[in-house]
């Protein structure tokens, strides 16, 4: 409720991950992330989603392209977009979820990305600025 995470700088070699608390393992959880700023106001470099308990593998909506991304993080914090997700988990990589460039046209600043993870249904979905919620996984 009302948590704020601010990234004030980053290394070109290491992508930053910001994570919240653990989600319940049953039922559905929904939360929203508001984008206050991105470098070119197009959402490039930002994705919003979920990660495993160890914060080593993530699934999220890449805001610039509107596509799903699955990425793993090595011990040094470097992302590996080619690594397979843990056994039993879907990849979803490059699946189109939203129209490409939807934030580039409207501008990322002020966009609200809502995420719903439904453990019971086995689904992950997103919507931006109250729009439609197509299933991602």
Q: How far apart are CA 10 and CA 66, in angstroms?
A: 23
Reading the chain (137 residues) residue by residue, the pLDDT tens digits are: 566 666 656 555 555 666 777 888 889 999 888 887 776 766 677 778 888 887 788 888 888 788 888 888 777 777 788 888 888 777 877 888 776 555 655 667 778 888 898 888 888 888 888 877 776 66
Strands 47-51 and 67-73: unpaired
Beta strands in the chain (DSSP E): 28-34, 47-51, 57-62, 67-73, 79-80, 112-118, 123-128
Ordered DSSP codes for 79-104: EETTSPPPTT----TT-B-S-TTHHH
Q: What is the pTM of this model?
A: 0.76
Q: Judge whether 38 and 30 are in contact, CB under 8 Å.
A: no
Token pair for 130: 């109250």
Alpha helices by DSSP H, listed for the chain, are 102-106
């Amino acid at each position: 409720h009302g948590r704020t995470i601010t990234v004030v700088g980053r290394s070109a070699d290491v992508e930053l991950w910001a994570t919240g608390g653990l989600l319940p393992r049953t039922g559905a959880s929904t939360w929203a992330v508001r984008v206050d700023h991105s470098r070119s106001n197009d959402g490039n470099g930002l994705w919003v989603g979920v990660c495993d308990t160890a914060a080593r593998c993530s699934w999220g909506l890449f805001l610039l392209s509107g596509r799903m991304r699955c990425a793993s993080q090595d011990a040094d914090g470097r992302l590996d977009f080619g690594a397979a997700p843990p056994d039993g988990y879907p990849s979803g990589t490059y699946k189109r979820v939203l129209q490409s460039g939807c934030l580039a046209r409207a501008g990322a600043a002020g966009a609200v990305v809502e995420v719903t993870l439904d453990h019971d249904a086995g689904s992950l979905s997103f919507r931006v600025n109250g729009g439609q919620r197509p299933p991602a996984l």
